[in-house]
Amino acid sequence: MNLDQQILTALHAAAAVGVSGAELSQRLNVSRAAIWARIEDLRALGYEIDASPHRGYRLCGVPDLLHADDLLSRLGPTRVIGRDIRVFQETSSTNDVVDKLARDGVPEGVVVFAESQTRGRGRLGRKWLSPAGRGLWFSVLLRPNLRPQAATQMTIATALAVARAIQQQTGLLPGIKWPNDILLQGRKTAGILTELSAELDHIKYLVLGIGVDVNLAAHEFPADLRKLATSLRIEAGRTLNRADLAIAILRALDDDYARITSGQFEAVANEWAERCTTLGQPVTIHIGDRRLHGRAEALDEDGALLLRTEHGRLERVIGGDVTMEK
Q: Supply the minimum distance, in Å, between the C-beta of residue 122 and a copy of itself.
A: 10
- CA–chain centroid gap for 303, Å, is 19
Q: Are 12 and 19 in contact (CB under 8 A)?
A: no
Nearest to a copy of itself of 250, 317 (CB atom): 317
Nearest to 304 by CA among 146, 197, 149: 149
Contact 277, 286 (CB under 8 A): no
Least spacing, CB of residue 199 vs a copy of itself, in Å:
6
The DSSP-derived string for 44-112 is HTT-EEEEETTTEEEEEE--SS--HHHHHHHH---SSTTSEEEEEEEES-HHHHHHHHHHTTPPTTEEE
- Cα–Cα–Cα angle for 124, 297, 303, rounded to 5 degrees: 50
Based on CB atoms, which residue is closest to a copy of itself, 43 or 202? Answer: 202
CB of 273 to a copy of itself, least distance (A): 18
CB nearer a copy of itself, residue 123 or residue 187: 123
Minimum CB distance to a copy of itself smaller for 156 or for 253? 156
CB of 314 to a copy of itself, least distance (A): 15
> Which stretches of the chain bind a copy of itself, using CB under 8 A?
123-124, 145, 147-149, 151-152, 155, 179, 193-202, 204, 287-288, 318-320
Looking at residue 278, what DSSP letter applies? Answer: S
Q: Using the minimum distance from each CB to a copy of itself, give the nearer residue, 8 or 98.
A: 98
Residue type, 223: A
CB of 193 to a copy of itself, least distance (A): 7
